[in-house]
Amino acid sequence: MAFEGVTIPATLSHIAGIEGFSLEARRGEMVLVRVEEGCERTPLADAAEGLVAPESGRVLFLGEDWAGMGAQRQAARRGRIRRVFEHYGWISNLDVMENICMAECHHTGREEADVQEEAQVLARRFGLEGIPSGRPTRQPPIRLRKLEWVRAFIGAPDLVILERPLFGAPRADMGRLVESVCGACRNGAAVLWITDEDRVWECREIGSVRRFRMAAERLVAM
């Protein structure tokens, strides 16, 4: 995943824009981006996933410019990405397990039972008793946040995008998330973690990580 001189202006959806933005996250690498309070909603995650086109510059995924891919190619490439959304990121008319397993089953051809078993293992790793039945709207926010973590680490994604993933989660659960992030990197995923929290920025258990800070609409390497 790479940004090359990317400029995207602020919009109603993205309070803060980005200007002349460049970074690269290779396989097995983690990039940590610190955003400031009041400017958390940037287009970084949407652009990394090819959902927002830059005004100038290029956004690449697996060496390809999102702008040069057709719709089918883009859909297939997004199947290699997992994401924890800052806000609600669930399909309301599917149950929780269907939400969690859908992308992995569709894009990899794995047996559904195999994916569901992995989901249950991940749920217990994050301190849950398992994947609950029923629709996402019936789950409390803290549980939904952990279930988003489960969905983000299913399978072997090429890119994991974390948008303030600890928002609303108990402080004691940060170690569980960090452990899974490190595991994903060891398995070859690139990780883009966007945060506004000191506890994440200062965490030493994350290991090798490249740190950037958003200053106004500019990215500053730390």
User: DSSP of 34-95, one letter per residue?
Assistant: E--TT----SHHHHHTTSS--SEEEEEETTEEGGGS-HHHHHHHHTTEEEE-SS----TTS-
Band of pLDDT at residue 170, cut at 50, 70 and 90: confident
56-61/64-65 β-pairing: antiparallel
Average model confidence (pLDDT) for the chain?
91
212-218: which pairs have CB atoms within 8 A and are 24 or more residues apart? 212/23, 212/31, 212/32, 212/33, 212/34, 213/33, 213/34, 214/16, 214/18, 214/33, 214/34, 214/35, 214/36, 214/39, 214/42, 217/10, 217/16, 217/17, 217/18, 217/19, 218/18, 218/19, 218/20, 218/21
Band of pLDDT at residue 92, cut at 50, 70 and 90: very high
Q: Which residues pair with 218 in a beta bridge?
A: 215
Provide the CB-side half-sphere exposure for 90 (13 A, CA).
26
Band of pLDDT at residue 63, cut at 50, 70 and 90: very high
Residue 85, both tokens: 């959304």
Band of pLDDT at residue 189, cut at 50, 70 and 90: very high
Band of pLDDT at residue 16, cut at 50, 70 and 90: confident
Domains and CATH numbers, the chain: 2-221 (3.40.50.300)
d(CA 7, CA 55): 6
d(CA 191, CA 83): 10
* DSSP letters for 119-181: HHHHHHHTT-SSPPPS-GGGS-HHHHHHHHHHHHTSS--SEEEEESTTTTS-GGGHHHHHHHH
Tell me what pLDDT residue 42 has. 83
pTM metric for this prediction: 0.93
d(CA 112, CA 97): 10
